[in-house]
Amino acid sequence: PKTQGVFGAYFDCDLERNPSWRGNSLNFVFSIKTSGSSLGLDVFRTTGFNNNYQYFNYATKTLPNGLGAGGQLEHFGLWIDSNFTCGSSNSAATFGSEQLSSQREFVIDVIEAWLVRPTDKLDDDGPGGAKKQSVLDANPEAAALLELANRKMYSKTLPDPTLDRDD
């Protein structure tokens, strides 16, 4: 079902493919409500009820495949399916949050992802001073997720700038 709304989650820890819960108590979910000409921001921080902060999994047959925040398996506070076209939202004790979307299940119109702090995965040098890697090489899980979502990975088509070229 097509619904209107702006809502999301902040993950303090890097996303890593793992069929179990990760993250920490700095994670939160939020919704932005509009009423006439005014905006309202609802932020739901962790309650300490459980440690179900973030879930990221794909390519498994027995567990949910996608990205989740709070709640429990199959009943996430915020859920984005691995195809990035639909999701769902439920109330979640993890954040003491209400359902973020106007309807439980929704169709995704736009997704934004922001990196708001440095990540260990993007260091200039690898262990022992190894050669720099592209973002897709350094994050194979992210590359696989982009592939699942049928998104073009532009850096895969760029030549390696460290190779000598004969002109």
pLDDT digits (tens, 9 = 90+) for 32-46: 887 777 778 999 999
Q: Phi, psi at residue 26, to the nearest 5°?
A: -85, -10
Q: Can you give the pTM of this predicted structure?
A: 0.70
Q: Could you tell me the two tokens for 167?
A: 């002109």
Sort strands 28-35 and 38-45 into parallel, antiparallel or unpaired.
antiparallel
Confidence of residue 152 (pLDDT cuts 50, 70, 90): low
Name which of 69, 65, 32, 26 is nearest 48 in CA terms. 26
User: Which region among 53-57, 106-110, 129-133 has the lowest average model confidence (pLDDT)?
Assistant: 129-133
Question: How many Å apart are CA 53 and CA 27, to the nearest integer?
Answer: 6
Residue 86, CA distances (Å) to 1, 3, 32, 76, 109 in order:
9, 11, 19, 13, 9
